[in-house]
Protein backbone atom coordinates (compact mmCIF):
# COMPACT_ATOMS: atom_id res chain seq x y z
CA UNK A 1 0.00 0.00 0.00
CA UNK A 2 0.99 3.61 -0.50
CA UNK A 3 0.71 5.24 2.93
CA UNK A 4 1.06 8.84 4.09
CA UNK A 5 1.93 9.36 7.75
CA UNK A 6 1.11 13.03 8.21
CA UNK A 7 2.66 15.29 10.84
CA UNK A 8 5.21 12.68 11.85
CA UNK A 9 8.68 14.01 12.61
CA UNK A 10 9.97 10.85 14.29
CA UNK A 11 9.40 8.39 11.45
CA UNK A 12 8.41 5.68 13.95
CA UNK A 13 5.08 4.78 12.31
CA UNK A 14 6.52 5.11 8.81
CA UNK A 15 9.37 2.73 9.70
CA UNK A 16 6.96 0.08 10.99
CA UNK A 17 4.93 0.18 7.77
CA UNK A 18 8.15 0.05 5.72
CA UNK A 19 9.14 -3.09 7.65
CA UNK A 20 5.82 -4.56 6.48
CA UNK A 21 6.81 -3.86 2.86
CA UNK A 22 4.59 -0.81 2.32
CA UNK A 23 5.49 2.34 0.43
CA UNK A 24 5.12 4.61 3.46
CA UNK A 25 6.17 8.25 3.72
CA UNK A 26 6.21 10.62 6.66
CA UNK A 27 5.49 14.30 6.15
CA UNK A 28 6.15 17.14 8.55
CA UNK A 29 7.25 20.76 8.40
CA UNK A 30 10.25 19.73 10.51
CA UNK A 31 13.16 17.61 9.30
CA UNK A 32 12.77 13.98 10.32
CA UNK A 33 14.71 12.24 13.05
CA UNK A 34 13.88 9.04 11.13
CA UNK A 35 14.96 8.01 7.64
CA UNK A 36 15.13 11.09 5.37
CA UNK A 37 14.63 8.91 2.25
CA UNK A 38 11.01 8.35 3.33
CA UNK A 39 10.31 11.87 4.61
CA UNK A 40 8.64 14.75 2.83
CA UNK A 41 9.49 18.00 4.58
CA UNK A 42 6.81 20.58 3.96
CA UNK A 43 3.11 21.32 4.05
CA UNK A 44 1.02 18.15 4.06
CA UNK A 45 -2.19 19.76 2.73
CA UNK A 46 -1.25 19.59 -0.99
CA UNK A 47 -0.27 15.92 -0.54
CA UNK A 48 -3.80 15.03 0.56
CA UNK A 49 -4.92 15.42 -3.07
CA UNK A 50 -2.56 12.61 -4.15
CA UNK A 51 -3.66 8.96 -4.38
CA UNK A 52 -3.01 7.24 -1.03
CA UNK A 53 -4.24 3.84 0.09
CA UNK A 54 -4.07 4.93 3.73
CA UNK A 55 -3.45 8.14 5.65
CA UNK A 56 -2.46 8.17 9.30
CA UNK A 57 -2.47 11.72 10.64
CA UNK A 58 -1.07 13.18 13.84
CA UNK A 59 -2.26 16.81 13.62
CA UNK A 60 -0.73 19.10 16.24
CA UNK A 61 -2.72 19.08 19.45
CA UNK A 62 -1.33 22.35 20.84
CA UNK A 63 -4.58 24.26 20.38
CA UNK A 64 -7.00 21.30 20.62
CA UNK A 65 -6.01 19.26 23.68
CA UNK A 66 -7.84 19.70 26.98
CA UNK A 67 -4.46 19.84 28.72
CA UNK A 68 -4.22 23.38 27.35
CA UNK A 69 -7.79 24.38 28.25
CA UNK A 70 -6.67 27.26 30.47
CA UNK A 71 -5.39 29.03 27.31
CA UNK A 72 -8.46 28.32 25.14
CA UNK A 73 -9.98 31.83 25.45
CA UNK A 74 -6.76 33.43 24.23
CA UNK A 75 -6.38 30.87 21.43
CA UNK A 76 -9.98 31.38 20.34
CA UNK A 77 -9.57 35.14 20.35
CA UNK A 78 -6.41 35.21 18.23
CA UNK A 79 -7.52 32.44 15.85
CA UNK A 80 -4.99 29.74 16.75
CA UNK A 81 -7.65 27.29 17.87
CA UNK A 82 -9.66 27.78 14.66
CA UNK A 83 -6.50 27.13 12.63
CA UNK A 84 -5.92 23.91 14.58
CA UNK A 85 -9.51 22.80 14.02
CA UNK A 86 -9.35 23.60 10.30
CA UNK A 87 -6.08 21.70 9.94
CA UNK A 88 -7.53 18.64 11.72
CA UNK A 89 -10.60 18.75 9.47
CA UNK A 90 -8.46 18.62 6.30
CA UNK A 91 -7.71 14.99 7.21
CA UNK A 92 -11.36 14.25 7.93
CA UNK A 93 -12.41 15.59 4.53
CA UNK A 94 -9.74 14.01 2.32
CA UNK A 95 -10.91 11.37 -0.13
CA UNK A 96 -8.80 8.44 1.05
CA UNK A 97 -10.72 5.24 1.90
CA UNK A 98 -8.60 4.40 4.98
CA UNK A 99 -7.86 7.15 7.47
CA UNK A 100 -6.72 7.23 11.09
CA UNK A 101 -6.47 10.56 12.91
CA UNK A 102 -4.70 10.57 16.27
CA UNK A 103 -4.96 13.24 18.95
CA UNK A 104 -5.15 13.36 22.73
CA UNK A 105 -8.44 13.99 24.49
CA UNK A 106 -9.57 17.41 23.34
CA UNK A 107 -12.19 19.59 21.75
CA UNK A 108 -12.58 17.59 18.51
CA UNK A 109 -14.67 15.05 20.44
CA UNK A 110 -17.24 17.81 20.94
CA UNK A 111 -16.79 19.90 17.80
CA UNK A 112 -16.75 17.00 15.35
CA UNK A 113 -17.52 13.63 16.92
CA UNK A 114 -16.36 11.21 19.59
CA UNK A 115 -13.31 9.13 18.65
CA UNK A 116 -13.83 5.55 17.57
CA UNK A 117 -11.32 4.40 20.16
CA UNK A 118 -9.10 5.61 22.98
CA UNK A 119 -5.90 3.63 23.46
CA UNK A 120 -3.24 3.70 26.17
CA UNK A 121 0.49 2.88 25.89
CA UNK A 122 0.14 0.20 28.62
CA UNK A 123 -2.08 -1.79 26.21
CA UNK A 124 0.87 -2.05 23.80
CA UNK A 125 3.82 -2.87 26.05
CA UNK A 126 4.64 0.51 27.65
CA UNK A 127 3.94 0.93 31.38
CA UNK A 128 2.65 4.47 30.98
CA UNK A 129 -0.59 6.38 30.65
CA UNK A 130 -1.37 8.75 27.79
CA UNK A 131 -4.96 8.60 26.56
CA UNK A 132 -4.80 8.69 22.78
CA UNK A 133 -7.93 9.14 20.66
CA UNK A 134 -8.27 7.49 17.26
CA UNK A 135 -10.84 8.58 14.70
CA UNK A 136 -11.04 5.85 12.06
CA UNK A 137 -12.42 5.53 8.54
CA UNK A 138 -12.22 2.16 6.78
CA UNK A 139 -9.93 0.72 9.48
CA UNK A 140 -10.70 -1.65 12.37
CA UNK A 141 -10.23 -0.79 16.02
CA UNK A 142 -6.75 -1.57 17.33
CA UNK A 143 -6.54 -4.66 19.49
CA UNK A 144 -4.21 -4.47 22.51
CA UNK A 145 -1.03 -6.42 21.83
CA UNK A 146 0.70 -6.55 25.22
CA UNK A 147 -1.01 -5.27 28.35
CA UNK A 148 1.57 -4.47 31.00
CA UNK A 149 1.57 -3.29 34.60
CA UNK A 150 2.53 0.24 35.44
CA UNK A 151 0.50 3.34 34.93
CA UNK A 152 3.06 6.11 35.17
CA UNK A 153 2.04 9.42 33.55
CA UNK A 154 5.54 10.13 32.17
CA UNK A 155 4.39 12.66 29.56
CA UNK A 156 2.87 14.77 32.34
CA UNK A 157 6.05 14.58 34.42
CA UNK A 158 8.49 15.73 31.72
CA UNK A 159 10.61 18.72 32.61
CA UNK A 160 10.09 21.91 30.62
CA UNK A 161 12.50 22.40 27.76
CA UNK A 162 12.82 23.06 24.05
CA UNK A 163 12.30 19.40 23.09
CA UNK A 164 9.41 18.72 25.48
CA UNK A 165 6.60 19.05 22.91
CA UNK A 166 8.42 16.87 20.38
CA UNK A 167 9.12 14.17 22.97
CA UNK A 168 5.54 14.23 24.28
CA UNK A 169 4.08 13.84 20.80
CA UNK A 170 6.23 10.88 19.76
CA UNK A 171 4.27 7.70 19.00
CA UNK A 172 5.05 4.75 21.24
CA UNK A 173 6.74 1.95 19.28
CA UNK A 174 4.21 -0.62 20.53
CA UNK A 175 1.33 1.42 19.13
CA UNK A 176 3.20 2.00 15.85
CA UNK A 177 3.79 -1.75 15.51
CA UNK A 178 0.10 -2.42 16.17
CA UNK A 179 -0.86 0.05 13.42
CA UNK A 180 1.40 -1.74 10.93
CA UNK A 181 0.56 -5.29 12.00
CA UNK A 182 -3.19 -4.82 12.25
CA UNK A 183 -3.84 -2.40 9.39
CA UNK A 184 -1.43 -3.81 6.77
CA UNK A 185 -3.99 -6.22 5.33
CA UNK A 186 -7.14 -4.12 5.57
Backbone φ, ψ for residue 179 (5° rounding): -55, -55
Range of the domain at 28: 2-183
pLDDT at 111: 93
pTM value > 0.85: yes
CATH code, domain carrying 142: 3.40.50.150
150 vs 137 pLDDT, higher one: 137
Q: What is the pLDDT confidence band of residue 167, given thresholds at 50, 70 and 90? A: low
**Strands (DSSP E) found in the chain:** 2-6, 23-28, 39-41, 54-57, 99-104, 117-119, 132-137
Residue 72 has pLDDT above 90, yes or no: no
Number of structural domains (the chain) is: 1
- Inter-residue contact 91 to 27 (CB < 8 Å): no
**pLDDT of residue 164 exceeding 60:** no
Segment 125-148 mean pLDDT = 96
Q: How many CB atoms lie within 10 A of CB 150?
A: 11
Amino acid sequence: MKILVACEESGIVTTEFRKSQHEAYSCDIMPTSGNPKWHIQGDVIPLLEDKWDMIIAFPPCTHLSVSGARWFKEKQKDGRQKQGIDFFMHFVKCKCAKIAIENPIGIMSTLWRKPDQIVQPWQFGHGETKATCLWLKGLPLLLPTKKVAGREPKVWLMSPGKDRARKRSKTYIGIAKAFAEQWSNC
